[in-house]
Amino acid sequence: MIFETPRLVARHFGPRDLAAFVAMRDDPEVARYQSWQGFTEEDGRSFIASLASMQPGDPGWFQFALEEKACGQFAGDCGLFIDPTDARLGRIGYSITRPFWNRGFATEAVAALAGYAFTRFDLHRITASVDPRNTASCRVLEKAGFLKEAHFRRSEWFRGAWADDAVYARLRDG
C-alpha cells in the first residue's frame, strides 16, 4: 500500500489489474474527456509494464491503482506528475471505473493523493487540468480543496474541435 483513504487503498499496479484497468479505459464514458480513445489489452500490458521500474516521486507520471477496501476490487487509478524541470511542481489525474461513480471515491482519492504528495515530496504546488464540460471532475477538485485559477478559452485541439481548459490548483501552504 502507498496511501489510503477511508474506503480505498492506493497501491502499485500489477498484472492482476489488467482486465479491470483495460475495461475502465476502454469505456467511452470514462474516455470522453481523456487523451485516449479505445484501449486494448496490449495498451494495458505496456502501461503496467512501464510502471514496474518506477516509483512515486520520480520525474514524469506515476500512476497508482485504486482498490476498494470492502471487496478488494479495482476501483480506478490516480496519477502524480512531477515536473522534470522543477520537482516542486506537480500535477494530478484520476479515473474511477463506472460502476463506482458518484459514491465519493474520486474525491477521497484526490484529497488523499494531494495530502500524500505534499507530505512525502517537496511539492509547492499541485495542479489539475480539466475540460470544463467535465462537471463531475470539476466538482471533485473543488471538494478536494483545489481552487479554480484559470479558464482558457478554446485553447486545446481536442478530437477535431477547439476545447476550453480549466486549471485548478492546491498550494502546500493554502
Binding site for ligand COA (CB under 6 A): 30, 33-34, 93-96, 101-107, 130, 134-137, 139-140
Contact 92, 81 (CB under 8 A): yes
The smaller minimum CB distance to ligand COA, of residues 95 and 118, is found at 95
Q: How far is the CB of 78 from ligand COA (least distance, A)?
A: 9
Choice between 88 and 103, CB closer to ligand COA: 103
DSSP states along 10-44: EE---GGGHHHHHHHHT-HHHHTTSS-S---HHHH
User: Smallest distance, Å, CB 75 to ligand COA?
Assistant: 9
Determine the Cα–Cα distance for residues 98 and 90; give it in Å rounded to an integer.
26
Q: Is 144 exposed, middle or buried (0-12, 13-18, 19+ CB in 10 A)?
A: buried
CB of 144 to ligand COA, least distance (A): 8
153 versus 173: smaller Cβ distance to ligand COA: 153
- Distance, in Å, from the CA atom of 121 to the CA atom of 22, rounded to the nearest integer, reads 30
In the complex with ligand COA, the residue whose CB is nearer, 55 or 99, is 99
